[in-house]
Amino acid sequence: MRLLQYVSLFIAITLVSFTSMQQKQKVVFFGDSITAAGVSPTGYITVLGSLMAQKGLKDQYELAGAGIGGNKVYDLYLRMEDDVLAKNPTTVVIWIGVNDVWHKKGGTGTDAPKFEQFYNAIIRKLQAKDIKVILCTPATIGEKTDFSNEQDGDLNKYANIVRAVAVKNNCPLVDLRKTFLAYNLANNPENKEKGILTADGVHLNDKGNALVADEMLKVLVK
């Protein structure tokens, strides 16, 4: 009788462990228009899903986009409940910052201290729900490689803020700013402003989407 109880207990523990191992990781990508386009047929989220399927990981991950065009860091904070937490994610990938810098030209950008403050607030709220948070540096506002793009200085500053916030909050980092600069140095000998990884200096073309998907995969699947 006791042996039967032990066997039953062992089976129950094994089933619970197996179920936990098989539970899908739900990943929500949280960002602006770049992420909104990420769910298109050639978008980086779609490409990432294909890469995962090729590696036999399709049943382990569920990918969802939560991008809205024009969003800045405080927009993410304000819509986090409805657009992210309501989806019950296990992981959230935050990619924001381009509009916070880019829109300064029109007077509607985000000052650096406020950018950092809202970013930290988003992370605290997600981590309080035991959600893994992955950060991405803003990639590019113009693809020239000699730092002559008009907003390179500010973009580098905000990328450094994201790097520091990642360290402070113990978050994995996808350093897209660094990756895009390196790719353009190797593949943009004519110092073009766009057309290498982006269609317009900001929004991704197919090569840009593929590169982002590759970089996301390295951090998501370890």
Mean pLDDT value across residues 63-82: 98
What pLDDT is recorded for position 48? Answer: 98
In DSSP terms, 136 is beta-bridged to 95, 174
Inter-residue contact 123 to 129 (CB < 8 Å)? no
Q: Comparing C-alpha atoms, which of 100, 102, 83 is closest to residue 92?
A: 83
pLDDT given at position 5: 52
Q: What is the pLDDT of residue 14?
A: 45
Q: What is the pLDDT of residue 222?
A: 77
d(CA 70, CA 99): 6
Closest CA to 174 of 204, 137, 140, 143: 137
- Asked whether residue 114 carries a pLDDT value surpassing 90, the answer given is yes
* Sheet strands (E) in the chain: 25-31, 61-67, 91-95, 132-136, 173-174
Give pTM, 2 decimals: 0.90
Q: Write down the domain spans for the chain.
A: 25-220
Residue 195, phi then psi, degrees to nearest 5: 95, -5
Looking at domain 25-220, its CATH superfamily turns out to be SGNH hydrolase (3.40.50.1110)
Give the Cβ contact number of residue 136 at 10 Å. Answer: 29
Q: Are 198 and 176 in contact (CB under 8 A)?
A: no
Cα Rg for the chain, rounded, in angstroms? 20
Residue with tokens 């590759």: 214
- Tell me what the pLDDT averaged over the chain comes to: 92
- Is the pLDDT confidence value at 20 over 50? no
**Residue 15 confidence (pLDDT) above 90:** no
In the chain, % of residues over pLDDT 90: 87
**CB within 8 Å of 117: residues ≥ 6 apart:** none
pLDDT at 23: 78
pLDDT tens-place string over residues 174-210: 999 999 999 999 999 999 999 999 999 999 999 999 9
Q: What is the pLDDT of residues 130-166, one digit of tens each?
A: 999 999 999 999 999 998 999 999 999 999 999 999 9
Q: Please determine, for residue 80, whether its predicted confidence score (pLDDT) is greater than 80.
A: yes
